[in-house]
Amino acid sequence: MKKERLKAFVKEVEACWPAVLGTMAEVRRPCARPQCRACAEGRKHPGVIFTYMDQGRRRCLYVPQGFVAALREALGHGRRLEQRLRRMGADLIRDYRRQRDAQSPDREGP
């Protein structure tokens, strides 16, 4: 049973590569051009920012426009794997009980 779980999990991880935890948000940011009209008028420039936690500290990075779609997909994978890991404890406990009860069917209790 353990082997089957491992195989299923590895398959899922492979299907979820690359996986990322964090969030993406659209922002408006100023540029470095001295005479920029968009910045002077306060419109600034659209950009995407990626936020993630690193050892309890929040960190942010601007996402290159060409990488936004790939990162969005990776964040979806990350959520899927996170969900999978959250359920893993209950799955393993059920597996353990099933195996234990198969070995000694008379045993009572959780």
Q: What letter does residue 64 receive in the DSSP assignment?
A: P
Nearer to Zn ion, 19 or 39 (CB): 39
CA distance linking residue 106 with residue 103, whole number of Å: 9
Nearer to Zn ion, 45 or 98 (CB): 45
- The minimum distance between CB 42 and Zn ion, in angstroms, equals 10
Which residues, 6 or more positions from 109, have their beta carbon under 8 angstroms from its beta carbon? none
CA distance linking residue 106 with residue 6, whole number of Å: 29
User: x/- string (CB under 5 A) for Zn ion, residues 28-67?
Assistant: ---x----x-xx----------------------------
Number of residues that bind Zn ion (CB under 5 A): 4
CA distance linking residue 15 with residue 80, whole number of Å: 10
Inter-helix orientation angle 68-103/2-15, to 10°: 170
Nearer to Zn ion, 22 or 47 (CB): 47
Nearer to Zn ion, 32 or 69 (CB): 32
Residues at the contact surface with Zn ion, assessed by CB under 5 A: 31, 36, 38-39
